[in-house]
Structure 1
Amino acid sequence: MHTSDLGQVALLIAFPIALFGAASAAIGARRSIPSLVVSGRRSVHAVAALVFIAAIVLLGAFASHDFGVRYVAEQSSREMPVRLILAAFYGGQAGSLLYWLLALCLLSVLAIRRHPSSHPALLPYVAAALLVIEAFFLLVLAFVASPFERLPFVPANGRGLNPLLYDDGMLAHPPVLLAGYVSAAVPFAFAIAALASGRLGNEWVLAARRWVLGGWAILGSGLLLGGWWAYHVLGWGGYWGWDPVENVALLPWLTATALLHSLAVQERRGLLKVWNLSLVIATFALSIFGTFVVRSGVLGSVHSFAQSAIGPFFFAFLGLVLLVSLALLFARLPRLASPATVETLYSREATFLANNWLLIGVTFATFWGTIFPLISEAVRDVRVAVGAPFFDQVNGPLLLGLLVLMGIGPLVPWRGAGRATVWRNFRLPLLGGVVVAIAAGIAVGPAQFLAACVFGVIGFIIVGVGQDYWRAFRGQQRAASSGPLSAFITVLVRHRRRYGGYLVHLSIAGMAVGVVGSTFFKLERQVTLQPGESTTIGRYALTYRGIETQPGSGVQAVTASLDARTGDGRLLTSLAAERRFYQGWESQPATQVAISTVLPWLDDLYVVLAGWDEPTAAAVTAGRFVLPSGEPLAATFHVFVNPLVAVLWLSWPLFLAGTLLSWWPDAAAAVLAPVSRRRGVPAWSQA
């Protein structure tokens, strides 16, 4: 028996335990049998322990170069740096599914242990739902796509990672993005628990809100890290191309964004109960759909895996999720009606509702454009691709509308206000937006009128948030006679959900600045240069110095060096653009983009080595590309100037800070939390 077999055995044992635990927890809660509820809770821990053992075994197989394991041989080599073992772990299909399952198990343990005495009527159903999801992934990993399958022989070396995955960004982007997918399972489980138990008030909302917020932030961070990786590695000058895999990752983030706003409406006004449950179901279903698209390979993408046999399993599971959850929802519809209504358009709940409709519009347009190739192939036997122009033209106006609503939301109160109050709140932000739009229009010229308008909307958002905070800050100073620092901290702490959300709004506004700058004002050209020759692009001049090879262990880099100068000849920076040839992947060289952010303009100089002369003296020797010594070579470069992209990346810390502030528990929530004990339902903490 090989060590790797221990991982396979752990998965095989975990599968029936997950099924047993799900059944025990659900039946125990339904029939008030404490012993079964105990079994369900213990099953969550047992499955997590077994999956953790399987993950450790697979990591050990990578660390020991056990190339008898097919997955290890396909994803690693002896020359691969040790730091990339984690990237190899989730770099292929089976390993990424094991990581998905491991993250789900850890979140499941946290979910059932976080407040064991707060929601005893819900937690058994939560455990049952999570265990069913775990059982599905165990089924796939144990019987369909095992990461522990052994080869009939042991090769001397493995193939190694795909060259695109050698970038250090792979240590962050995939695990964060997958964790974001996984995190949708916990709010979904709470929603299913509410529907199954009949506890349809705000209890599940209060239990799930922070899970929704945390998962939303993780998935959003995964999307940003993915954009950063694409920008630095793929070499096409951008960070978002409406690729199918990018789109399916965006979909659950959009519905989760809508959910965060509509949950606030339910907490405050008791509205949108059916809508919120529908959004929770949709968010989890879209997470499974995204996993299905990437893992099945049904849609071509630079990010997706090759077509495999697991696609039908995911499709069937997605159908089961929708069937069961929607059946429960329809069965509870009579009890979900709310007597409250949106009383006026001049209210925050009306703004949030409009925000939801626009977000769902973007979600539907993105979903439709993503799956349209499959629909066209099924109907007309011709796969019609939908490109970036469709998404830009359809989603662009909707996203601009969302920015406008983001500015309006903080200016209107709950339940509405008179027109005089509304106008008093709007005057300064509107003035600020107009001033910014005019200043931007003067700076960029009439040809970029739309960009100036978007900058004006961003100014409207920033001034509106600043005005709200200033009023609260001054009010705190006057009420407590406190100093500026004390008043600043007090306002943040007492109203952390509100101002954490406003910080997130500011971060989104910052990201919008980056998107507008790099979309409307990008410069691009392709040029071939001899050593010593220069080219100009915008306010910059680039001088090509030469090209050389840099051999390394398992990789050879071909590096072209350039100097970047201002128009008056002042040296700004030196750039090194590379193409890297990894052993076993010589036919698929990886791009290493040269990027330098130039202050104070915040322009990104972005240079891609597209090719070079290959004289007859050049040869490939023992898998290495050899350049003739002493012979100057012309090189071809793809050069971009991307204004303000740095603002996009710099907005991420503000996004995280705002999310963390909003996520910080609010003492007031304890007042709203309902008593969760019910006669005949075993207390989860005592089970």
Structure 2
Amino acid sequence: FPYVITTLSSIQIFFVVVLLFAANPFDIIPYAQLGGYDDGRGLNELLQNYYMIIHPPSLYFGYVGMSIPFAFAMAALISGKLDNEWVIKIRKWTLTAWFFLSLGNLLGASWAYEVLGWGGYWAWDPVENAAFMPWLTASAFLHSIIIQEKRNMLKVWNMVLVLLSFILTLTGTFLTRSGIVSSVHSFAQSDIGTYFLSFLVLSIVVSVGFLLYRLKDLESPNKLDSMLSRESAFLLNNLVLVGAAVAILWGTIFPVLSEAVRGVKISIGPPYFNKVMVPIGLMLLILTGIGPMIAWRKTSWQQLKKTFVWPVLFSILVCILATILTSIFYTIHIAVITAFTFCAFVVATIYLEYKKGIQIRMRALKESFLQALIRLVRKDERRYGGYIVHLGIVLLFIGFSGAAFKVEKEFQMVAGQAQALGNYTFRYDQIDVARNTHKEVFTSKFSIWKNDKPFSYAYPAKVLYRSQIEGEPPQVGTEVFIKRSLVEDLYFALLSFDENQQSVFVKVIINPLVQYIWIGGLMLVLGTMIVMWPAPRRKQQQRIA
């Protein structure tokens, strides 16, 4: 594959040029620029977190990993070898890059939740969006590639998705390192934006040029037989995923375009993204349950009713229960009720798929339930591992839905004073100080009651990191306290304090269902690892044959 190596070498040459002429990591810093810090400023306090050991490398592997599918796609376009061989070769590469992007995004959300002190995990920040967009297009490709393998369809579409995923990784890197957007996740400013913009434009021109040149050769011999087919469901899934990526890209770059064209910088925040992404997310959720259950080529209405009768009944039951419970404990939100209903539908379809496969093995091969489950997954890791990923997505949506019931309030309190939020009562007891040569830690203590019964204690803190330079103010960090449960998190963040007056200003948040985000993330990671697990040698030989 000489063109694969050529493409990868071209990408590598670009980064070597950047390292040599724009951002040499081995450049000597003049002493005058150290600002009095003889040994440097050290690691930013916000980054002194164990998630930061894994989060940046994960995103890096995800970004870099997308170059491999791009190289194979360009090699196929240049050489004219446009059969399915290149698609089969890049599936595992794409899946690996997608896995690391998933892991990086989840760890970044965990870091934001535990470190930044605002009580959320995703703010639709430009850098967050930069890592999320290629994840969406890669997700679309991992689904549509199945159609090309099974039906020899969507050749042009799959080529577009591979090229687009790589282009979006370059776009994300450009947004992150150019400084044209502000972000709580950006800790380094540089002047390499021009380099990345030039390479981004060049990559778009070259890839689109070769795609147009080979467009006729990429025409698929097969067409959709019916709108009621798995192909149609997967294609609709793809359109929604790409639509989500386009909506996020537009919301991310619009302030920059507005400032460049009109001279007015417009801020687009979470309200825009939430308004757009909630209906898109619900569409993706229901398609997650429908797609794998429909037959290839064509499904009759009678087959459709037979397949979905139990999932629909179960989802209706959950819809009724969710409506009753939310009306009692919270406020009814139509989007949340819809999300719970669709989640129940997806869970029911996954359960039926596993049940059918396990029962067949238990009857035919006389296996125990556990043996049948393990061997069923081992026999077809791609299918049943994918169902586990879908189950993880369901749990993520349950966690996301809890944000609709989030309650938060800020309190100014003195020692011995009690306040209430929801069914919690908390009393500020005292503040303790621990000092060493590098920092001062001010830890407040709160006694908590739930439903008028002793529940727990909270210890949110403020950390002052001393400067090496006399007279320079310290860096301020926040150590939040989170009392976690499957129902809700009780979140404390110490905003400010008066050591002499023994008073504090504290933010308290009740975050329902947040833990399902992290459980769902683990489920997604587990399912992806199962899908990536090497197939048995005999199965590999059958696929090659």
Same fold per superposition (TM over 0.5):
yes
The answer for the alignment partner of 1:548 in structure 2 is: 432
Query: Matched residues in 1 for 2:158 and 2:497: separation?
Result: 56
Checking the alignment, whether the CA contact within 8 Å between 2:466 and 2:475 is kept in structure 1 is: no
The answer for the alignment partner of 1:577 in structure 2 is: 460
Checking the alignment, whether the CA contact within 8 Å between 2:497 and 2:504 is kept in structure 1 is: yes
The answer for the alignment partner of 1:471 in structure 2 is: 356
Query: Matched residues in 2 for 1:369 and 1:635: separation?
Result: 38
SS at match of 2:495: strand
Query: Matched residues in 2 for 1:575 and 1:569: separation?
Result: 15
Checking the alignment, whether the CA contact within 8 Å between 1:503 and 1:655 is kept in structure 2 is: yes
Deviation at 1:197, TM superposition (A): 2.0
Q: Which one-letter code corresponds to 1:583 in the other structure? A: R
Checking the alignment, whether the CA contact within 8 Å between 1:292 and 1:311 is kept in structure 2 is: yes
Checking the alignment, whether the CA contact within 8 Å between 2:255 and 2:265 is kept in structure 1 is: yes
The answer for the alignment partner of 2:184 in structure 1 is: 302
Query: Matched residues in 1 for 2:63 and 2:437: separation?
Result: 36
1:360-402 Cα deviation digits (max 9, x unpaired): 1111110000000111111210111111111111111011100
Q: Which one-letter code corresponds to 2:445 in the other structure? A: S
The answer for the alignment partner of 1:638 in structure 2 is: 507
TM-score by length of 2: 0.94
The alignment status of 1:493 with 2:362, answered yes or no, reads no
The answer for the alignment partner of 2:276 in structure 1 is: 394
For residues 85-484 of structure 1, the aligned pairs below 5 Å read: 122=1, 124-153=2-31, 156-305=38-187, 307-445=189-327, 447-484=332-369
Checking the alignment, whether the CA contact within 8 Å between 2:481 and 2:491 is kept in structure 1 is: yes
SS at match of 1:146: coil
The answer for the alignment partner of 1:677 in structure 2 is: none
The answer for the alignment partner of 2:532 in structure 1 is: 663
Q: 1:503 aligns with which of 388, 393, 399?
A: 388
Query: Matched residues in 2 for 1:186 and 1:555: separation?
Result: 45
Of residues 359-368 and 478-487 in structure 1, the stretch that sits farther from structure 2 once superposed is: 478-487
Deviation at 1:275, TM superposition (A): 0.8
SS at match of 2:267: coil
Query: Matched residues in 1 for 2:214 and 2:325: separation?
Result: 57
Query: Matched residues in 2 for 1:175 and 1:296: separation?
Result: 20
Query: Matched residues in 1 for 2:114 and 2:366: separation?
Result: 51
Query: Matched residues in 2 for 1:635 and 1:259: separation?
Result: 51
Query: Matched residues in 1 for 2:106 and 2:73: separation?
Result: 28
Query: Matched residues in 2 for 1:348 and 1:552: separation?
Result: 63
Q: Which one-letter code corresponds to 1:596 in the other structure? A: K
Of residues 392-401 and 304-313 in structure 1, the stretch that sits farther from structure 2 once superposed is: 304-313
Q: Percent of pairs identical after alignment?
A: 40
The alignment status of 1:567 with 2:451, answered yes or no, reads yes
Deviation at 1:632, TM superposition (A): 4.5
Give the root-mean-square deviation of aligned CA atoms. Answer: 1.6
Checking the alignment, whether the CA contact within 8 Å between 1:536 and 1:542 is kept in structure 2 is: yes
SS at match of 1:665: coil
The answer for the alignment partner of 1:595 in structure 2 is: 482
Aligned residues: 532
Checking the alignment, whether the CA contact within 8 Å between 1:196 and 1:328 is kept in structure 2 is: yes
TM-score by length of 1: 0.75
1:233-275 Cα deviation digits (max 9, x unpaired): 1111100011111111111000001010011111111111111
Q: Which one-letter code corresponds to 1:402 in the other structure? A: L
Query: Matched residues in 2 for 1:586 and 1:577: separation?
Result: 22
The alignment status of 1:649 with 2:533, answered yes or no, reads no
Q: Which one-letter code corresponds to 2:334 in the other structure? A: F
Q: Which one-letter code corresponds to 1:410 in the other structure? A: P
The answer for the alignment partner of 1:20 in structure 2 is: none
Q: Which one-letter code corresponds to 1:595 in the other structure? A: I
The answer for the alignment partner of 1:58 in structure 2 is: none
SS at match of 2:39: coil
Query: Matched residues in 1 for 2:236 and 2:324: separation?
Result: 32
Deviation at 1:220, TM superposition (A): 0.9
Query: Matched residues in 2 for 1:673 and 1:203: separation?
Result: 10
Query: Matched residues in 1 for 2:110 and 2:430: separation?
Result: 28
1:37-93 Cα deviation digits (max 9, x unpaired): xxxxxxxxxxxxxxxxxxxxxxxxxxxxxxxxxxxxxxxxxxxxxxxxxxxxxxxxx
Of residues 154-163 and 207-216 in structure 1, the stretch that sits farther from structure 2 once superposed is: 154-163
Q: Which one-letter code corresponds to 2:479 in the other structure? A: Q
Q: Which one-letter code corresponds to 1:404 in the other structure? A: I
Query: Matched residues in 2 for 1:279 and 1:222: separation?
Result: 21
1:15-44 Cα deviation digits (max 9, x unpaired): xxxxxxxxxxxxxxxxxxxxxxxxxxxxxx
Checking the alignment, whether the CA contact within 8 Å between 2:484 and 2:490 is kept in structure 1 is: yes
The alignment status of 1:522 with 2:395, answered yes or no, reads no
Deviation at 1:187, TM superposition (A): 0.9
Q: Which one-letter code corresponds to 2:231 in the other structure? A: E
Query: Which consecutive residues of structure 2, in runs of 5 or more, have no partner in the other structure?
Result: none
1:630-649 Cα deviation digits (max 9, x unpaired): x5411010110101101111
Query: Matched residues in 2 for 1:586 and 1:397: separation?
Result: 46
Checking the alignment, whether the CA contact within 8 Å between 2:489 and 2:511 is kept in structure 1 is: yes
Checking the alignment, whether the CA contact within 8 Å between 2:92 and 2:532 is kept in structure 1 is: yes
Checking the alignment, whether the CA contact within 8 Å between 2:389 and 2:523 is kept in structure 1 is: yes
Q: Which one-letter code corresponds to 1:509 in the other structure? A: V
Deviation at 1:301, TM superposition (A): 1.0
Q: Which one-letter code corresponds to 1:567 in the other structure? A: N
Query: Matched residues in 1 for 2:19 and 2:221: separation?
Result: 47
Query: Matched residues in 1 for 2:484 and 2:29: separation?
Result: 48
SS at match of 2:453: coil
Query: Matched residues in 2 for 1:491 and 1:416: separation?
Result: 26
Of residues 500-509 and 488-497 in structure 1, the stretch that sits farther from structure 2 once superposed is: 488-497
SS at match of 1:560: strand
Query: Matched residues in 2 for 1:152 and 1:637: separation?
Result: 43
Deviation at 1:665, TM superposition (A): 3.3
State the structure with more CA Rg: 1
The answer for the alignment partner of 1:73 in structure 2 is: none
Checking the alignment, whether the CA contact within 8 Å between 1:296 and 1:305 is kept in structure 2 is: no
Query: Matched residues in 1 for 2:72 and 2:372: separation?
Result: 37
The alignment status of 1:537 with 2:537, answered yes or no, reads no
Checking the alignment, whether the CA contact within 8 Å between 1:546 and 1:632 is kept in structure 2 is: no
